[in-house]
Amino acid sequence: MNSIDASHFISFEGIDFSGKSTQISLLKEFLEENHYTVYFLREPGDTEISEKIRQILLDKNHHCMNEWAEIFLYSAARVQLVAERIIPLLKEGQIVIADRYVDSTTAYQGYGRQLDLDVVKTINQAATFGLLPGITFYLELTPDELFKRMNNADRTADRLETAGIEFFKRVFNGYKQIANLNKQRFCVIDAVQSIESIHQKIVKEVSKRIGL
Ligand code: TMP
């Protein structure tokens, strides 16, 4: 995907309860205060088709979902989002913030579900047309901390969140590998810090890389 400038494409990654949503809202607010228009997109979702796929994916009644069906559904939701929203926005020069992107599939389906990583790579390539973000913020939270936060939360877990600690240990290790393989793109941040200190790190990095 050579013709698209992805420098304004920012993704956020992390296991559940890592504080992604809070940090995305704070970054969006910061950019808007500095007179930038920001488009926030969440995965899976944010097109009519992708939101319908999201409902199938997160439904707790679908506990029998085959892991290949799972990866194809995430990827179907993604390719629709990339084609319908992300590519047109980047072509206009807009700033796009994605709550999860292709690294989630590598971490959750590749490492977590233990699908063949080469096949996952091929599927990811097809589902993104090879388009990768300019910056990926990875909020790193250990599985132990995740379960502590999950037990204290007042909302019920979705289908993925009920997967158990062994699954999340694999996802955690998966993200470590992905971050190591993508050092240029990845900015790894310890998620067990104050909200403000994480926000400041993110702002500093965005300012440096986007040249605000
Ligand atoms: P969210 O809780 O961040 O909205 O994400 C929904 C769930 O979907 C979360 O448990 C992670 C999972 N997920 C995958 O397993 N693979 C993917 O490709 C994506 C985008 C999300």
- Class of residue 70 by CB neighbours under 10 A (exposed 0-12, middle 13-18, buried 19+): buried
Q: Which ligand 1 atom lies nearest to the CA of residue 43? A: 20
Burial class of residue 209, CB neighbours in 10 A (0-12, 13-18, 19+): middle
Cβ of residue 16 lying under 6 Å from some atom of ligand 1: yes
Distance 77 CA to ligand 1 centre (A): 11
Give residue 162's pLDDT.
72
**9-13 vs 38-42, strand pairing mode:** unpaired
Verify cis geometry, omega within 30 degrees of 0, for the bond prior to 133.
no
The values of phi and psi at residue 39, to 5°, are: -105, 120
- Please choose from 16, 86, 115 the residue to mutate so as to test ligand 1's pocket, defined by most ligand atoms within 8 A of CB: 16
**Can you list the residues of the chain whose pLDDT is less than 50?**
none
Per residue in 65-101, pLDDT tens? 999 999 999 999 999 999 999 999 999 999 999 999 9
Could you tell me the distance, in angstroms and rounded to a whole number, from the CA of residue 202 to the centre of ligand 1?
21
Query: What separation in Å is there between the alpha carbon of 7 and the centre of ligand 1?
Result: 24
Distance 211 CA to ligand 1 centre (A): 30
Cβ 98 under 6 angstroms from ligand 1: no
> Cβ(108) to ligand 1 under 6 A?
yes
**Ligand 1 centroid distance, CA of 13 (Å):** 9
Ligand 1 atom 1 nearest Cα = 16
Which superfamily does CATH assign the domain made up of 6-210 to?
P-loop containing nucleotide triphosphate hydrolases (3.40.50.300)
* Ligand 1 contacts CB of residue 70 (under 6 A): no
CA nearest ligand 1 atom 3, residue: 16
pTM here is 0.94
